[in-house]
Amino acid sequence: MQERLKELQQEAIQSIEQSSSLKELNDIRVAYLGKKGPITEVLRGMGKLSAEERPIMGALANEVREAIATILEAKQKDLEEAAVLEKLASESIDVTLPGRPVKVGNHHPLTRIIEEIEDLFIGMGYQVAEGPEVEQDYYNFEALNLPKGHPARDMQDSFYITDEILLRTHTSPVQARTMEKNQGKGPIKIICPGKVYRRDNDDATHSHQFMQIEGLVVGENIRMSDLHGTLEIFAKKMFGEDREIRLRPSFFPFTEPSVEMDISCMICGGNGCNVCKKTGWIEILGAGMVHPNVLEMAGYDSKKYTGFAFGMGPERIAMLKYGVDDIRHFYTNDVRFLKQYSKHE
Amino acid sequence: MFVSYKWLQDYVDLSGVSADELAEKITKSGIEVEGVEVLNEGITGVVVGHVVERVQHPNADKLSKCQVDIGQGEPVQIICGAPNVAQGQKVAVATVGAVLPGNFKIKKAKLRGEESNGMICSLTELGMEAKIVPKEYSEGIFVFPQDAEVGADAIALLNRNDEVLELGLTPNRADCLSMLGVAYEVAAILGRDVKLPEIELQPVKEKATDYITVKVEANEDNPLYAAKVIKNVKIGPAPLWMQTRLMSAGIRPHNNVVDITNYILLEYGQPLHAFDYDRLGSKEILVRRAQDGEKFTTLDDVERTLTSDHLVITNGTEPVALAGVMGGANSEVTSDTTTVLLEAAYFTGGTVRKASKDHGLRSEASARFEKGVDPNRVRAAGERAAYLMAKYAGGEVLEDASVVDTLTVEPAVVSITLEKINSVIGTNLTVEEVEAIFERLQFAVTSEEETITVTAPTRRGDIKIEEDLIEEVARLYGYDNIPKTLPIGSATPGKLSQYQDKRRIVRQYLEGAGLYQAVTYSLTSEEKAAQFALEKRDFIRLAMPMSEDRSILRLSIMPQLMEVLKYNSARQNDSLAVYETGAVFLANGNEVLPEEQEHLAGAITGLWHSHSWQGEKKAVDFYVLKGILEGLFAKLGLTESVTYVQAKVDNMHPGRTAEIHLHGERIGFVGQVHPTMQKELDLKDTYVFELSLKAILEEATAPLRYSGIPRFPSITRDIALVVDKETVAGVLQDIIQTAGGKLLKEVTVFDLYEGERMEEGKKSIAYSLKYMDPERTLTDEEVTKVHTQVLEALKEKAGAVLRG
């Protein structure tokens, strides 16, 4: 009997090791350990044994049963793992195929430039002021020290609607309106972005509609050195920390003294190239100290208050910054153009 | 203004300062030098040659065979094609080995079988513009005066070994429209002296006043008129140096008398005019306004009709010149002229501007009068011209001049404190430093304590107020030397307004939803201006548009976005999503500003989504766009306030368009573009919206409050309703919501069926209703009670029955 049990154990283990599927394994389980299996049969024959032999044989039978069960379990685990691996292998996909595109648009390049400038000045305590695009002659010209008959306000250059109403030719009327609204009190720190219009034929460098951003600071004891410092921060933040700036005297009816600012060319670093016309410098904005006539007309005591103003063209900045070669691209809205401004810098 | 570097040295010592260095200094202290042209750039090997013999080329009618002495032993043979080449001439010869502009190298050649050792040059071949070449040489070679030395450097003789600075002058610096003005500026920059031109008149014993009387009727327009008389002039070419200086400044030489007036125009900035005295037809000059309709032929042989706005110089009866603009053909100096009447006058800017504009005659002279000439230099300019006519045209200058002078010239005297200068610029200059700057400018300056008083010379008419003095100090001190500081004073909050902030949110949201931002023109055509407009108003028309296409301010953004779609579709981009924010313009009558309403418009066309290799493709439809809008309104907290009402809108599909209402007020529309328009523009199905951005951004947003996360389960009941086809979902939704009361948390449409299995005229619409009480678990009975109310209300108010 003892031998028979040992034989069964040997047989079973051999079958388990040879089995290759969970079903086969289950059949082996039923065959050896089931109620009709040979071990049970052996145990049934224990009645014939003596009282001394019975517990010894019983223990042995259980030992054999456990040994088979342990090996069986281990084998089952192996086979299950293999099955999972097989399933996963069959599920594999081509990870190099393209993903499902996410539809995302982006800012127009001019908005991108304008918001960048707005944010820069907001950080320095400026507010964003806006005003009408259809303007009174008074705010567009007269309040800015450009009286009627002034050569710089030729009818030919502006889109008039009536003698007194026109499409604004710059965003400066917003400055005049803001000052008037503040009723002779300071401080004012504003940045004024917006659309402006001039009577130009559209070509690669001219557009009858374009954007402008102007800034105005009015307060007690505002100095030209403050303008210098402000413009330097602007130039470095907007065009890169290694940009140099250069101020040149200029002329605008609404500022005195007047300034034009150049930055060292970002293309050639100041060595001279086609973009900077071999000068190493690029003209970027006009500025100056607010003309006392402008302050007085808006109700400010020019003995007490001084201010500075500056103005620039987002199209020009975008053209320089991104290398755009034709101003009309900004208004044609070719999606192949618009799409190029999605990347965050 | 073109400034010859060599010529400028007549007035200021430029030693140690190259033309490029000078340009840099001028630019940095106030006048932009737009370029420095090296006149002889790329030219070598051009000498003066003497044509000792000229014969016809044996094999070519239009060529000459010349023997030219170029100062190197035997004359060389040169074949020349110019019609005006002649024996005995002194000419410019590009010798073998010479280089001409455009890297044109001169080599030995054979022309029609004859050897040619060089080239006889025209001025254009030497790099000069055709428009400045004297007329007599415009079709051929240039001929030097006989005294030109054979073998000499022809380029030097033509004054081309020079550099020309091109000044970009701002309107306030008209003083630099003259060599003397530039000399004062350069002298101030360099801290050097100005040397004035010489005038050494030796008049003959006859008086100009015996030859001519001057009367001025229009005194306000012409407060100063001086007429000098120069007898016995011999008209001929001006000296070569004068001609070359004119050419360097861009002026074509004519004859000695005319060239001298032009030379003075450049030197003094004072336009002069020379009349042929004998052709005047009287001994009188009368300056008056023209009569309306008066005719006058200017010296360009164009007959002009004048008005009383124009000032004319007359001989007492007939006009002989349009003042400050152009002389008359009837009194022009010709080769026969022997007596010259020389006009030196002050005409006011407005008068000259009007005349030059009306007649399209912008000239070097009119430009200077328009910007204002120095009143103190008028007479001197006339004297200097008379002196040059005596010297270079053999003339005899008569004593005195016939003059009308009511011009009062008072130089501007401006005082300023040192404190003011330093506080505006942000510097710490001393009185001495400031005085030194004005002395360099040759402004008279005095100071008492810390108050500085400056007398500005009349040539600097732009100096009027304190700030003008501040600018002079700042620019000569050097803008770059001004410290860099930031404004000090009370702090100002830097922040976007709520409106501006929300507008940015709108842009970000729409871009996140897949739309690109477009920026289009505000001006449009009459045809487009009326399309899609939310409000019909009168057109706002430009008085002088550039074209019909851009003549009216837009009432709607949509027509411009349609243009964008059309443009892109025509370029193989027919699946597209764009939006724009911007003003539309609503007229309020003629004399007041229009209302500018900021609008938001969007358009989607073609495929909304496609993922080709997975076989996914989804065309745009109404609900794609409506979903985007719903998301936008949710973002702005307006979901509860917005409703959609089926409507007909111009240029939109009549069955697929809704008006958007905010609190019951129409603020925009959404829907499909009318198929007829889609076809016209060659677009695929296109869905669009436009609404008043102002309306939705000015709406107050309720503050954000946390509302608790439900702790009790909800119970969902689904119903399928059969209703009339015309019954819209919005109405059913309202009924359900009202009847469901506060326990009904969510209503969702989950199916719509209008197919053939339905009874004629009916459709089925299915809703999922979610009930919940935040305080406790609902029982089935409680839900059934409310749900029954909902079903009853649906039956009663919309005739809806449950689908069997």
CATH number at residue A289: 3.30.930.10
| Chain A residues 20-79 with a CB less than 8 Å from chain B | none
pLDDT of residue A25: 86
Q: How far apart are the CA of A338 and the nearest CA of chain B, in angstroms?
A: 7
Residues of B whose CB is below 8 A from A334: 567-568, 571, 573
Whether the Cβ atoms of residue B259 and residue B242 lie closer than 8 Å to each other:
yes
Q: Cβ contact (<8 Å) for B489 and A221?
A: yes
Residues B583 and B688 in one domain: yes
The strand pairing partners of B583, in sequence order, are B598
Sign of CA dihedral B587, B592, B593, B599: negative
| In the predicted structure, residue A41 carries a pLDDT above the cut 90 | no
Residues A71 and A141 in one domain: no
Residues A132 and A66 in one domain: no
A133 touches chain B (CB under 8 A): yes
Size of interface A-B (CB pairs under 8 A): 251
- Assigned domain for B489 exists: no
Residue that finishes a domain, picked among A33, A55, A90: A90
Q: Cβ contact (<8 Å) for B585 and A134?
A: yes
- Assigned domain for A154 exists: yes
Q: Cβ contact (<8 Å) for B487 and A187?
A: yes
A183 touches chain B (CB under 8 A): no
| In the predicted structure, residue A153 carries a pLDDT above the cut 80 | no
| In the predicted structure, residue B701 carries a pLDDT above the cut 90 | no
User: What whole-number distance in Å separates Cα of residue B397 and Cα of residue A122?
Assistant: 70
Q: Nearest residue on chain B to A341, judged by CA atoms?
A: B516
Residues of A whose CB is below 8 A from B541: 161
Residues of A whose CB is below 8 A from B581: none
Q: Which residue has the tokens 């108003």?
A: B537
What is the average pLDDT across B590-602?
94
Q: How far apart are the CA of B349 and the nearest CA of chain A, in angstroms?
A: 10
A95 touches chain B (CB under 8 A): no
Residues B648 and B787 in one domain: no
Give pLDDT tens digits for B752-795. Answer: 998 888 888 999 999 999 999 988 999 999 999 999 999 999 99
Per DSSP, the three-state class of B34 is strand
Residues A186 and A293 in one domain: yes
Q: Cβ contact (<8 Å) for B475 and A249?
A: yes
Whether the Cβ atoms of residue B333 and residue B234 lie closer than 8 Å to each other:
no
- Assigned domain for B678 exists: yes
A257 touches chain B (CB under 8 A): yes
In percent, the amount of chain B with pLDDT more than 70 equals 100
What separation, in Å, do the N-terminal and C-terminal C-alpha atoms of chain B show?
94
Q: Cβ contact (<8 Å) for B468 and A256?
A: yes
- In this prediction, the answer to ipTM > 0.95 reads no
A132 touches chain B (CB under 8 A): yes
Q: Nearest residue on chain B to A167, judged by CA atoms?
A: B542
Most distant pair of Cα atoms in chain B: their distance: 132
| In the predicted structure, residue A38 carries a pLDDT above the cut 90 | no
- Assigned domain for A97 exists: no
- Assigned domain for A102 exists: no
Residues A260 and A132 in one domain: yes
| Chain A residues 198-227 with a CB less than 8 Å from chain B | 199-201, 208-209, 217, 219-226
Mean pLDDT score across all residues of chain B:
94
Q: Nearest residue on chain A to B522, judged by CA atoms?
A: A209
Q: Nearest residue on chain A to B350, judged by CA atoms?
A: A149
Residues of A whose CB is below 8 A from B594: 134
SS3 labels along A318-332: HHHHHCCCCCCHHHH
| In the predicted structure, residue B312 carries a pLDDT above the cut 90 | yes
Sign of CA dihedral B202, B205, B211, B212: positive
Residues B122 and B179 in one domain: no
- Assigned domain for A57 exists: yes
Contacts of B638 (CB under 8 A, 6+ apart): B662, B696, B699
User: What whole-number distance in Å separates Cα of residue A335 and Cα of residue B568?
Assistant: 7
Q: Cβ contact (<8 Å) for B484 and A291?
A: no
Q: Which residue has the tokens 């905010």?
A: B662
Residues A82 and A127 in one domain: no
Residues A266 and A201 in one domain: yes
Q: Cβ contact (<8 Å) for A125 and B172?
A: no
The domain tally of chain A equals: 2
Q: Nearest residue on chain A to B542, judged by CA atoms?
A: A161
What is the average pLDDT across B150-166?
95
In percent, the amount of chain A with pLDDT more than 70 equals 99
A189 touches chain B (CB under 8 A): yes
A126 touches chain B (CB under 8 A): yes
How many other C-beta atoms are found inside a 10 Å radius of the C-beta of residue A237?
A: 17
Residues of B whose CB is below 8 A from A197: 522-523
A328 touches chain B (CB under 8 A): no
The strand pairing partners of B748, in sequence order, are B768
Between the CA of residue B193 and those of B19, B182, B184, B755, what are the distances in Å?
A: 18, 12, 8, 100
In single-letter form, the type of residue at position B415 comes to: S
Residues B397 and B528 in one domain: no
Listed ranges A36-45, A154-163, B22-31, B700-709; the one with the highest mean pLDDT = B22-31
HSE, CB side, 13 Å, CA atoms: give it for residue B136.
9
Residues of B whose CB is below 8 A from A243: none
Q: Cβ contact (<8 Å) for A225 and B488?
A: no
Residues of B whose CB is below 8 A from A155: 544
Whether the Cβ atoms of residue B107 and residue B94 lie closer than 8 Å to each other:
no
Residue that finishes a domain, picked among A25, A57, A90: A90
Give pLDDT tens digits for A233-274. Answer: 999 999 999 999 999 999 999 999 999 999 998 888 888 888
Per the structure block, which two tokens stand in for B209? 């006043």
Q: Nearest residue on chain B to A115, judged by CA atoms?
A: B504
- Assigned domain for B197 exists: no
Query: What residue numbers bound the domain in which B732 lies?
Result: 715-802
Closest CB to B482: pick one of A123, A224, A334.
A224
Q: Which of B379, B382, B417 is nearest to B397 (CA)?
A: B382
- Assigned domain for A165 exists: yes
Residue that finishes a domain, picked among B405, B440, B469: B405
Residues A128 and A55 in one domain: no
Residues A239 and A165 in one domain: yes
- Assigned domain for B753 exists: yes
Per the structure block, which two tokens stand in for A2? 């003892």
Per the structure block, which two tokens stand in for B89? 């001439």
The domain tally of chain B equals: 6
Residues A114 and A80 in one domain: no
How many other C-beta atoms are found inside a 10 Å radius of the C-beta of residue A267?
A: 14
Residue that finishes a domain, picked among B353, B374, B405: B405
Residues of A whose CB is below 8 A from B628: none
Contacts of B100 (CB under 8 A, 6+ apart): B42, B43, B46, B94, B106, B119, B121, B125, B126, B127
| In the predicted structure, residue A1 carries a pLDDT above the cut 80 | no
Q: Which CATH number covers residue B719?
A: 3.30.70.380
Per the structure block, which two tokens stand in for B711? 């702790």
Give pLDDT tens digits for B722-740. Answer: 999 999 998 999 999 999 9
Query: What residue numbers bound the domain in which A83 lies?
Result: 2-90
Q: Cβ contact (<8 Å) for A226 and B542?
A: no
What is the average pLDDT across B199-223?
93
Give pLDDT tens digits for B396-426. Answer: 999 999 999 999 888 999 999 999 999 999 9
Give pLDDT tens digits for A259-313. Answer: 999 999 888 888 888 888 888 889 999 999 999 999 999 999 999 999 999 999 9
pLDDT of residue A154: 67
- Buried b / exposed e across B181-219, counting CB within 10 Å, b at 16+? bbbbbbbbbbebeeeebeeeeebeeeebbebbebebebe
Q: Which CATH number covers residue B29?
A: 3.30.56.10
- Assigned domain for B468 exists: yes
- Assigned domain for A96 exists: no
Residue that finishes a domain, picked among A62, A90, A118: A90
Would you tell me the crossing angle of helices A109-122 and A224-239 to the nearest 10 degrees?
130
Q: Which CATH number covers residue B121?
A: 2.40.50.140
Sign of CA dihedral B719, B725, B731, B735: negative
Residues B729 and B694 in one domain: no
Residue that finishes a domain, picked among B360, B380, B405: B405
| In the predicted structure, residue B804 carries a pLDDT above the cut 80 | no
Residues A150 and A259 in one domain: yes
- Assigned domain for A101 exists: no
- Going by their DSSP bridges, the two strands A188-197 and B32-38 should be labelled as unpaired
Residues B542 and B664 in one domain: yes
Task: Considering only residues B385 and B489, tell me which one the structure prediction assigns the higher pLDDT.
Answer: B385
User: What whole-number distance in Å separates Cα of residue B667 and Cα of residue B691?
Assistant: 5
- Assigned domain for B705 exists: no
Torsion angles phi and psi, residue B665, rounded to 5:
-100, 135
User: What whole-number distance in Å separates Cα of residue B174 and Cα of residue B557?
Assistant: 45
- Buried b / exposed e across A18-42, counting CB within 10 Å, b at 16+? ebeeeeebeebbeebbeeebbbeeb
Give pLDDT tens digits for B60-119. Answer: 989 999 999 999 889 999 999 999 999 999 999 999 999 999 899 999 999 999 999 999
Per DSSP, the three-state class of B44 is strand
Residues of A whose CB is below 8 A from B611: 100-101
DSSP letter at A45 equals G
- Assigned domain for B707 exists: no
Residues A214 and A281 in one domain: yes
Give pLDDT tens digits for B779-791. Answer: 999 999 999 999 9
Q: Cβ contact (<8 Å) for A108 and B517?
A: yes
Residues B389 and B420 in one domain: no
The H-or-E segment that residue A31 falls in is: helix A22-33
Q: Which CATH number covers residue B588?
A: 3.30.930.10
In single-letter form, the type of residue at position B103 comes to: N
pLDDT of residue B267: 97
Can you give the length of chain A in residues? 345
Q: Nearest residue on chain A to B170, judged by CA atoms?
A: A251
Q: Which residue has the tokens 């069964």?
A: A8
State the pLDDT confidence band at A191, using cuts at 50, 70 and 90.
Answer: very high
- Assigned domain for A312 exists: yes
Residues B218 and B78 in one domain: no
Q: Which of B528, B562, B577 is nearest to B673 (CA)?
A: B562
Give pLDDT tens digits for B510-562. Answer: 999 999 999 999 999 999 998 999 888 999 999 999 999 999 999 999 999 99
Whether the Cβ atoms of residue B396 and residue B339 lie closer than 8 Å to each other:
no
User: What whole-number distance in Å separates Cα of residue A228 and Cα of residue A310?
Assistant: 11
State the pLDDT confidence band at A135, using cuts at 50, 70 and 90.
Answer: very high
- Assigned domain for B64 exists: yes
Residues A29 and A162 in one domain: no
Torsion angles phi and psi, residue B225, rounded to 5:
-140, 120
Residues B231 and B368 in one domain: yes
pLDDT of residue A155: 63
User: What whole-number distance in Å separates Cα of residue B344 and Cα of residue B229?
Assistant: 11
Residues of A whose CB is below 8 A from B468: 256
